[in-house]
Structure 1
Amino acid sequence: MKAFTYRIDERLALAFPQLEAAEELFALIESDRPHIESFIDVMAETKTLADEKNFIKMKLHGYADGTDYLFFILSEQTICGCIDIHNVDKKIGKGEIGYWLHSSFTKRGIISKSVQAVCSLAFDTFGFNKLLICVDIENDPSNRVAQRCGFTLTSTEPQDALLYGKLRDMNHYTLLKEQFKKGFDE
């Protein structure tokens, strides 16, 4: 994939989203829909290649407006998932991190490294002060990612999200810029 990338390590990078990658990204989603949709029901709205292109266009507009930051996660130059900062509040300098990873790439630390890289970009480049991760209480891998990346569980909110028509309890994790910087200084 030819795109601007932010290198995480020798294998991993975050890539700025490009419309030309829509077909590759859509094929990735299609090949692992049950896994990806288990906690992300909006993926069910991505039914065609045109839907994927429209999603990327929407995220690119959000990037231009400073309200949304999407990155493709690359492993050995192959897209294996996505990570973004959404629900951005520019006044406060906060946003929410969301991510998904193809099941064939799980249990390798890819998401944890990607979250740490996005935190670094958010705090050092985009001027954020606070990042959130909201996770379904039953999504054990994502709860572990938030904890491993230094986020603090600030609340468990009952019936806080709707997943396939059912209200779900969510854990809310927070990381402040000062906490992130302190973690690197120690």
Structure 2
Amino acid sequence: METPAETYRDGDLTLTRWHPGDRTVLTAAVSGSLAHLGEFLNWATGGYTDDDSAEFLRRTSNSWENGEAYEYAVRLDSEVAGGIGVMQRDGGVEIGYWLALGFVGRGLMTRSVTLLTEEAFRLGAGYVEIKHDERNVRSGAVPARLGFTKVGTEPAEKPLAPACTGTNHVWRLVRRPCSAPAAP
């Protein structure tokens, strides 16, 4: 997949590349939702500080420059509602995401995944995958809603967050081939 744009918009929803200046708003969004996020995201257990944000933003910048992953802030109007990332995989991409507690249930992640899935296909990805713990029903609702197919399960990477079972569901959407031109 080619390098994506740094910003995508859909009405009041904007996906923007994370930058070092986002440290304070990232820390606030995560630390205000630790109980919610920490159930399924190991990085959100045990607190989240400005140093954690700074390290994430440094890694994100390096990954972007190396073409390994592209991480975005999910913003509703100007407020940070969560994060979403596109990670390069052999022949396709994987999308991962999280939302702060106050933004759950508004369709923001479905809209965000739609934007990045369409863009991944436009930029040459052959498929898009989403993985989530089998207990994380809300995360699984996004690919199901968008027409992804559940293609199997796989062991989760350790260490696991407290609510995780160690089994991830794997969803995949394959780019449709272009139609052949009509015969004259």
User: What TM-score do you get using the length of structure 1 for normalisation?
Assistant: 0.84
Quick one: distance in 2 between partners of 1:11 and 1:123? 23
Where does 1:60-139 land on structure 2 (aligned, <5 Å)?
A: 60-86=61-87, 88-89=88-89, 92-125=90-123, 127-139=124-136
- Percent pairwise identity: 26
Distance apart, 1:26 and its partner CA: 0.5
Give the aligned partner of residue 32 of structure 2: 31
Quick one: distance in 1 between partners of 2:128 and 2:111? 16
Unmatched segments (≥5 aa) in structure 2: 1-5, 180-184
Unmatched segments (≥5 aa) in structure 1: none
Within the alignment, does 1:47 sit opposite 2:48 as a pair? yes
Higher RCO, 1 or 2 (CA under 8 Å, sep at least 6)?
2
Quick one: distance in 2 between partners of 1:27 and 1:76? 17
Quick one: distance in 2 between partners of 1:160 and 1:17? 26
2:166 match: secondary structure: strand
Of 153, 156, 165, which residue of structure 2 is paired with 1:160? 156
Task: Count residues in correspondence.
Answer: 172
User: What TM-score do you get using the length of structure 2 for normalisation?
Assistant: 0.85
Does the 8 Å contact 2:40/2:133 carry over to 1? yes
Q: Where is the helix percentage greater, Structure 1 or Structure 2? A: 1
Query: Aligned Cα RMSD in Å?
Result: 2.1
